[in-house]
Amino acid sequence: MTVRRYAAHIATVIVALCVALAMPASQLRTRLVTETCCCPDPSHCHCPPEKPDPKGCPAMKPCHKVQHETVAPEAPSVVEPAVVATAAQPRVTVVAFVQPIVPEPAPSPDEPYGPS
């Protein structure tokens, strides 16, 4: 019986440590930047320099290099709810007052048995 108790205690401690380490790590803000390019080799993407359009008309850019930034959401911080103190409502109790029954006087003792 004690071996089972020690095994349960050790398992509880291990789970508590895992949760204690995982919770702060889950609160970290992680970020991932991915770049896509139309070139065959995205690691050496050589886009021509952008020149401003002299006519001022919108035009497509010659390079389609796109950068996506993915940010993991943060867990919301815990906000304690406001405690509202209210007075307890008074309790109404009904007490019935009943007069105690007054006992009647004891009967007079019978005459003793005997010769008359």
User: Looking at the domain assignment, is residue 25 inside a domain?
Assistant: yes
| Total number of domains constituting the chain | 1
Flag whether 37 is in a domain. yes
pLDDT tens readout for residues 53-70: 667 666 666 666 777 888
Task: Give the domain extent around 39.
Answer: 2-45+60-70
Q: How far apart are CA 114 and CA 58, in angstroms?
A: 142
Per-residue pLDDT, 14: 93
Question: What is the per-residue pLDDT for 51?
Answer: 65
| Average pLDDT of the residues in 16-28 | 73
- pTM of the complete model: 0.29
Report pLDDT digits (tens) over 62-100: 666 777 888 777 666 667 778 777 777 888 888 877 777
Q: Distance between CA 30 and CA 74 in Å, rounded?
A: 9
Q: Does 108 map to a domain?
A: no
User: Does 82 reside within a domain?
Assistant: no
Handedness of CA 9, 10, 13, 18 (dihedral sign): negative
What's the whole-number average pLDDT of the chain?
76
Instruction: Tell me whether residue 52 is in a domain.
Output: no
